[in-house]
Amino acid sequence: MAKTYDLVVKGGSLVLSDGIRKLDLAIQDGVIVEMKEHIDGYGENELDATGHYVMPGMIDSHVHFNDPGREDWEGFHHGSSLMAAGGCTTYFDMPLNSIPSTADVSALLEKAQKGRLDSKVDFALWGALVPDNEEELESLAEHGVIGFKAFLSPSGTSEFESVDDLTLYHGMQRIAQLNRILALHCESAPLIESLLKRKEGKKGTSVRDYCETRPVLAEMEAVNRALFFAQETGCPLHFVHISSAKTVKLIQEAKADGLDVTLETCPHYLLFNIDDFEQLGSIAKCAPPLREEKERLQLWEVLMAGEIDMIASDHSPCPTSMKTVYEHDMFQAWGGITGGQFSLEAIIDQGYVERHIPMTRIAEWTATNPAKRFGLYPRKGTLSVGSDADLVLVSLNRDHLVTENELLSKHRHSPYVGRRFRCRVTATINRGKIVYTLQDGVTEHSQGEWLQLQRTFETL
């Protein structure tokens, strides 16, 4: 007698760790239970994946959903909906931009409760390392934070202070003892402040004025300092939104010397340059800023050489007025990219279609490596029997011109509007539940799970 499954995905090209195979995939109780050329049983639901790549759902390790406290910017509902539409089945929400910041257990539990109520897909939460919260780190770790986050330069919000060197050093000592990872925003505050003072006298507020105050050197200096502290403390580090190949090389040299470090870059650094920033204006402002074309191309080179561990969106929304009111003053406009909905399509378009990078490597950058690094593998990040049924269907037979009307962010601005991708996410499945289809949109009744870290991470 034929078996019955909750869902069978038929006829797709499955992106596996060792290659691509055309297989059916059966799901029961939220888990992948069978993968074979032809599944004899049938599903209560069946999804035709003919002509599609079936990939592990994206794990976006770096998003800002501002919930609670700044829901008017964007909260879990809108943020997780756009993640689902972009093929993301798990995201890690950063500890800042919400009020209060996730610097103690009370704030963590408040944020987790909001996520449990409103998130469409699974999520984990970062804890904060800020001045005066060193005593909170152990309890945050006990309650399952995915890691800790600190800024080496001002964060942009008054509620989340950057760390001084002593806070960083003591915090790294404690985080190493807790067997957790510290994620760092690395830009040199003293260098930026000095360059800003020079600009103040000249009253320059253009795109290039802004970029000149946050040069690659500022990123490199802060990374170098953090690596020195890591060498002294043994603290595992994850460097967020690295924007330059020179910085990548610094981190890789440290990794070769035995330091436990990883890094991410973001789609906007791979797709856009400073000329695009000038054309797009404030909606393309971020920190670190978009770089010169030479830097963008060099970033692709080190990515293709295997020197970048993962890709994350650094989705950082805000009300449109916080961008447009300051269109002529790039120092005042909010610095964040609204783009998490298009991360996977962007990398497939520019990676697989444009540069012929194998889909297996793209799956490593977007799913497998984040899962391994942050202690979720093999439950997440892979299409394997026994793993969570987190998957995304991608068609390369559908061009996708991004329009403002399809943005699921609360405020509909993005540098991706007007961009054409030669691929399309057509369905997203989280723990066996269809949470998004191109035809029907995001499923209203879908509900994500808070992933509290219980396992240790891997060294990549």
CA dihedral 63, 64, 68, 69 (to 10 degrees): 180
d(CA 47, CA 10): 6
Give the C-alpha separation, 162 to 164, whole Å.
7
Nearest-angstrom CA–CA distance, 301 and 2 = 50
DSSP label at residue 273: -
Amino acid in the structure at residue 135: E
- Compute the distance between CA of residue 164 and CA of residue 161 in angstroms, rounded to an integer: 9
Identify whether the C-beta of residue 450 lies closer than 8 Å to the C-beta of residue 112: yes
Of the candidates 68, 117, 63, the one whose C-alpha atom is nearest the C-alpha of residue 88 is 63
Give the whole-angstrom CA distance, residue 6 versus residue 26: 8
Single-letter code of the amino acid located at 58:
M
Beta strands in 313-423 (DSSP E): 391-395, 400-401, 420-421
Q: Was 314 annotated as part of a binding site? A: yes
User: Which tokens sit at 16?
Assistant: 């596996």
Q: Is 52 annotated as a binding residue?
A: no
Please tell me the distance from the alpha carbon of residue 330 to that of residue 211, in angstroms, as a whole number.
Answer: 9
Closest CA to 311 of 381, 382, 366: 366
Residues belonging to the chain:
460
The pair of three-digit structure tokens given for residue 184, joined into one six-digit string: 């760092």
Whether residue 185 is annotated as binding a ligand: the answer is yes
The answer to whether the annotation marks 36 as part of a ligand binding site is: no
| Helix, strand, or coil (residue 34) | strand
Q: Which of 301, 300, 225 lies closest to 267 in space, CA to CA?
A: 300
One-letter identity of residue 367: A
- Which are the contacts of 363, defined by CB distance < 8 A and separation ≥ 6? 15, 55, 56
Identify the sign of the CA torsion 87, 89, 92, 93: positive
Sequence-separated (6 or more) residues with CB below 8 Å from residue 50: 10, 11, 12
On whether the CB atoms of residues 256 and 306 are closer than 8 A, the answer is no
Is 413 annotated to bind ligand? no
Integer Cα distance of 341 and 338 in angstroms: 8
Residue 146, helix vs strand vs coil? coil
356 is in an annotated binding site: no
Residue set of the binding site: 62, 64, 149, 185, 241, 314
Residue set of the binding site for Zn(2+): 62, 64, 149, 185, 241, 314
